[in-house]
Amino acid sequence: MQQSLKDSGGIGSWLATNLGRLLVSIIVPAITFVVLWQGFIFLRDSQSPQLIIVLVAILWGVGGVAVLFAVSNWFVERLPSEWVHRLQPFVFVGPGVAILCWFLAIPVVRTLILSFQGPAGTGFVGVDNYIYAFTDRIMLETFRNNLLWMIFGTFFCVGLGLIIAVLADRSRYESIYKAIIFMPMAISFVGAGVIWKFIYSYKGEGSGISEIGLLNAIVLALGGTSQPWLAQPPWNNFLLMIIMVWLQTGFAMVIISSAIKGIPAELLEAARIDGATEFQLFFGIIIPTIQGTLLTVSTTIIIFSLKLFDIVRVMTGGNNGTNVIANEFYLERFTYGNAGRASAIAIILLIAVVPVMIYNLRQFRESRAF
Amino acid sequence: MNKSTRSYKGQKALSNFFVNLTLIIICVIWLVPTLGIFITSFRNSEDIFKTGWWTVFPHKAFIKTGEINIDPAVDVNGPITIEGVTHTFEEWRAGVVMPDGSQMTWYGNKRTRLVETQALKWQWFETTLSLDNYKNVLTGKEIHFKDGSGQEITRKGNDLSSAFLNSIAVAVPATVIPILIACFAAYGFAWMNFPGRKLLFTMVVALLVVPLQIALVPILQDYTRLNLNGTFLAVWLAHTGFGLPLAIYLLFNYINQLPRDILESAFIDGASHFTIFTNLILPLSFPALASFAIFQFLWVWNDYLVALVFLGDKNRVITSALAALVGEKGQDWHLLTSGAFISMLLPLAVFFALQRYFVRGLLAGSVKG
């Protein structure tokens, strides 16, 4: 600013440059806004070929955010330097914090309020929704099923992951085995649902019909009779769990494997020289050393099983005794249109993860990152 | 001494053998489900309805060698004798193995009076494979295929090609936008000073495990009010919101441990925060950005719930389209398998190409909410 004052000399031209600056400062954001708004209108109303819409959408979405950051920063840097210092952090942090508040922090409060209200979000009903959630037969069934998922699903994921990690650690072809076990992580739950529905598929008894589902074909080959597997409670829950185990064991394995690699080789060698068997090594050294990792992995998978939705939705729709909390949430909100009950269920899900939240916060405070 | 070393080695080789055997068995079990739909997706619809996918591999099967017409005088309601062997109609229809090792099977219902003679023969790779199923599932026009009895069926296609494009339109911005916003925020938290810095970051940590169900009801209200339901913007924002805590947390951890001298020397050279960010921090954080990008991309591409709630049937993405296919045509395995494979194509490619970064991202933050 001083620079420009020195160069221009006269008060008139000083005013002119600053007015010019002011104008530019207004015009640039205004143009940005208009361009982005036009993009939004185009995307909403356009009848162009889909490929063009997709390309415009990507450009508009990605470019728009980048331009918004650049323009708001450009705008702030025009200000006197003390204001730059004061405001620039908010240019950087602001959008992130604003979106977090809109999409996660404030909804916690809003959902809590909704959970005390009636179906359409009007009228205070007290704790009725919670009474429903804890007494209704279907809700109790979802609690039981989620508990099964959290216990058995997690146990098999972590157990298998641990076994595979330990075994693979001793093989020359470790990376191949691990890639294969890990591969399902890239597959969607819906896709995995189709894959396993095919395995469990059932045609029924009758002549001229051969089972095309692998499970029934195996059962028939072993001399049994084919079954409509997914319609038989309570075992269908476990058949659904197999899908999660198939998908998530890779995750457990990768994290456990990296923890095992962190165990000092000398420690294991020393124990071997002392005559420890492989089993003693496993239970005496490996498990105790990586128990922190096992806890983290288990927690992640437990939280995951708590929110499980897609698998049940695609495989059974929650019928035949396979319903879970997240699916009941979806049904309440979108099939029965009861926002109050759905909110109460969401709050129950939130309360279930509060211990983990507190643990994370404590860890964060201890890490002294600030 | 020598002997004991040898036996130690022998023991080691044996245990190695069992380790590899166990792992190979597990890996085969892990691969078979995917292999099953992969093979099925290339088979003719007629074959899929009739036989399991494993029959494409060489196996012994009864193959038709001839036909016998049953004399109209024979009573089909009582026991039927064919070539000296007597069984009921039901048994004949299920197939009877004759003393010479061949099989006789009644064809169709009682009125056909037709019995096929079949011999057990090795069958090699005789199934015809084609891309027809993929063509049928990708198009939105009318499709024709044959069912198990050879009857031609006409249906409306499920237009997975347009769902695929929509998925790209959702997944690319929903990956880049949160990364950009998170990267700015992480830089701000790590290297800038402002009031409320610690409190705001504590909020980020607290939100790490919040289930997204908590947000669906209120956000849907907002979107209805803003008339945003069914737009790409709505899903991008939602995925950004749900992905941000982990993104900010991971990128903060990374940017925070970059050497401080870089920043200080850049400041002395007169660079602004913005130039430091774009010219120094973004390139330096590439590994962390890549890790999170893969994570978020797979998450968004594979997501079903968020797309279902905010996009609905308008601009349907691939997971929703596939789930709808399961609902509408649950027994049409030729469409389901090829559809499932199309939905897996891109994530699998990304995954195998960038596995290293993905694993690193997983290790850095295994607490996604």
Average pLDDT (A299-319) is: 89
Answer whether A8's CB lies under 8 Å from A17's CB: yes
**CA nearest neighbour of B36 among B56, B50, B21, B22:** B56
pLDDT at B366: 52
Q: Give, as one character, the DSSP assignment of residue B71.
A: P
Contact call for A100 and B217, based on CB within 8 A: no
Of B205, B219, B363, the CB nearest to A255: B363
Best of B23, B292, B314 to disrupt the A interface (most A CBs within 10 Å) is: B23
Q: What one-letter code names the amino acid at B131?
A: L
Lowest pLDDT segment from A295-309, A355-369, B231-245: A355-369
The CA distance from A164 to the nearest CA of chain B, in Å, is 7
Taking 50 as the threshold, does the pLDDT of residue B367 lie above it? no
Indicate the burial class of A205 (C-beta count within 10 angstroms; 0-12, 13-18, 19 or more).
exposed
Check residue A323 and give its pLDDT: 92
Residues of chain A found within 8 Å of residue B213, distances taken between Cβ atoms = 307, 326, 329, 345-346, 349
Inter-chain residue contact A313 with B323, CB threshold 8 Å:
yes
User: How many beta-carbon contacts under 8 Å exist across A and B?
Assistant: 349
Using one digit for the tens of pLDDT, what is the confidence trace for B55-68? Answer: 877 777 777 777 77
A188 contacts B344? CB cut-off 8 A: yes
All residues of chain B having their beta carbon less than 8 Å from the beta carbon of residue A258 are 359, 363
Q: With 60 as the cut, is the pLDDT of residue A333 above it? A: yes
In the prediction, which pLDDT does B95 show? 74
Query: How far is CA A4 from each of CA A21, B192, B316, rounded to the nearest angstrom?
Result: 11, 29, 55
**What percent of chain B has pLDDT above 70?**
94
Most confident of A217-221, B178-182, B313-317, B365-369: B178-182
Reply yes or no on whether the pLDDT at B29 is more than 90: yes
pLDDT of residue A71: 87
pLDDT at B259: 84
pLDDT of amino acid B159: 83
pLDDT the model gives residue B369: 35
CA distance A70 to chain B (A): 8
Q: What residues of chain B lie within 8 A of the CB of A198, using their CB?
A: 33, 36-37, 40, 333, 336-337
Question: Helix, strand or coil for residue A274?
Answer: coil
Whether the predicted pLDDT of B315 surpasses 80: yes
CA angle B229, B231, B237 (to 5 degrees): 90
Distance CA(B101)–CA(B121), nearest Å, equals 11
Q: Which range has the top average pLDDT, A104-108, B255-259, B285-289?
A: A104-108
Q: Which amino acid is at A304?
A: F
Does the beta-carbon distance from A190 to B322 stay under 8 Å?
Answer: yes
Q: What is the pTM of this model?
A: 0.85
Model confidence at B328, pLDDT cuts 50, 70, 90, reads confident
Q: Kindly indicate the confidence band of residue A121, based on its pLDDT and cuts at 50, 70 and 90.
A: low
By C-alpha distance, the chain B residue nearest A94 is B185
Least confident of A308-312, A357-361, B167-171, B263-267: B263-267
Interface contact flag, A246 B216, Cβ < 8 Å:
no
Highest mean pLDDT among A10-24, A28-42, A133-147: A133-147
> How many Å lie between the alpha carbon of A12 and the closest alpha carbon of chain B?
31
Set of chain A residues whose Cβ sits within 8 Å of the Cβ of B217: 107, 110-111, 114, 333, 339, 342-343, 346
How large is the average pLDDT for residues A262-277? 86
Pairing of the two strands B80-82 and B85-87: antiparallel
Residue partners of B273: CB distance under 8 A and separation at least 6: A88, A92, B187, B191, B192
Average pLDDT, chain B: 83
The answer to whether the Cβ–Cβ distance between B214 and A346 falls below 8 Å is yes
User: Within the 95-154 window of chain B, which residues sit less than 8 Å (CB to CB) from chain A?
Assistant: none
Task: Answer for the pair A339, A120: CB distance below 8 angstroms, yes or no.
Answer: yes
pLDDT digits (tens, 9 = 90+) for B259-286: 888 778 888 888 888 888 888 888 888 8
pLDDT at A264 over 70: yes
Q: Mean pLDDT across chain A, nearest whole number?
A: 86
Measured between CB atoms, which of B33, B205, B323 is closest to A360?
Answer: B205
* Residues A335, B209: Cα–Cα separation, whole Å: 27
pLDDT surpassing 80 at residue A45: no
DSSP character string of A93-139: HHHHHHHHIIIIIHHHHHHHHHTTB-TTS-SB-TTHHHHHHHH-HHH
Sign of the alpha-carbon dihedral angle for A108, A301, A356, B239: negative
- Looking at the partner chain, which of B187, B210, B272 has a beta carbon nearest the beta carbon of A350? B210
pLDDT at A6: 47
The radius of gyration of chain B from alpha carbons, rounded to an integer in Å, stands at 31
Q: Is B241 on the interface with A (CB under 8 A)?
A: yes
What band does A282 get if pLDDT is binned at 50, 70 and 90?
A: confident
Contact B241/A102, CB-based, under 8 Å? Answer: yes
* Interface ipTM: 0.86
Position A101: which residue type? C
Predicted pLDDT of residue B204: 92
- How close A96 comes to chain B (CA, Å)? 6
Give the mean pLDDT of B182-209: 91
**The pLDDT of residue A151 is above 80:** yes
Instruction: Give the per-residue pLDDT at A35.
Output: 82
Phi and psi at A336, nearest 5°, equal: -95, -10
Report the residue of chain B nearest A171, measured CA to CA.
B20
pLDDT band for position A10 (cuts 50, 70, 90): low
Q: In B286-305, which positions are buried (b, 16+ CB within 10 angstroms) versus exposed (e)? A: eebbbbbbbbbbbbbbbbbb
The CA distance from A74 to the nearest CA of chain B, in Å, is 9
Q: Is the dihedral of CA A341, A342, A343, A347 positive or negative?
A: positive
Over residues A124-140, the mean pLDDT reads: 89
Phi, psi of B356 (to 5 degrees): -55, -50
CA distance A60 to A55: 8
Judge contact between A70 and B184, C-beta under 8 A.
no
Chain A residues in contact with B193 (beta carbon < 8 A)? 89
The residues near B191 (Cβ < 8 Å, ≥ 6 apart) are: B255, B263, B273
Choose among A346, A256, A361: nearest CA to A298: A256
Q: Express each pLDDT in B106-131 by its tens digit.
A: 777 777 777 777 777 777 766 677 88
User: Is there a contact between A199 and B20 if contact means CB atoms under 8 Å apart?
Assistant: no
Residues of A in contact with B33 (CB under 8 A): 195-196, 198-199, 214, 246
B160-364: CATH homologous superfamily?
MetI-like (1.10.3720.10)
When mean pLDDT is compared across A66-70, A267-271, B299-303, B364-368, the lowest value belongs to B364-368
A186/B139: higher pLDDT:
A186
Q: Is A263 or B71 the better-scoring residue by pLDDT?
A: A263
pLDDT in tens, B128-169: 778 888 888 888 777 777 776 777 777 777 788 889 999 998
The CA distance from B315 to B299, in Å, is 18
Chain A residues within an 8 Å CB radius of B184: 69, 91-93, 95-96
As a whole number of angstroms, the distance between CA B172 and CA A1 comes to: 42
The sign of the CA dihedral A298, A303, A309, A310 is: negative
Residue B180 touches chain A, beta carbons under 8 Å: yes
CB contact under 8 A, A296 and B366: yes
Residue of A nearest to B205 (CA): A361
pLDDT value at position A349? 92
- A188–B19 C-beta distance less than 8 A: no
Percent of chain B clearing pLDDT 90 (strictly above): 28
pLDDT band at A149 (very low <50, low <70, confident <90, very high): very high
- Tell me the β-bridge partners of B62: B120
Rounded to the nearest 10 degrees, what angle do helices A50-77 and B160-191 cross at? Answer: 10
> CA angle, corner B171, sides to B168 and B173, nearest 5?
105
| Closest residue on chain A to B183 (Cα) | A92
Residues of A in contact with B27 (CB under 8 A): 176-177, 180-181
The total number of residues shown for chain B amounts to 369
Q: Which of A46-60, A99-113, A173-187, B297-311 is predicted least confidently?
A: A46-60
Q: Which residues pair with B117 in a beta bridge?
A: B66, B104
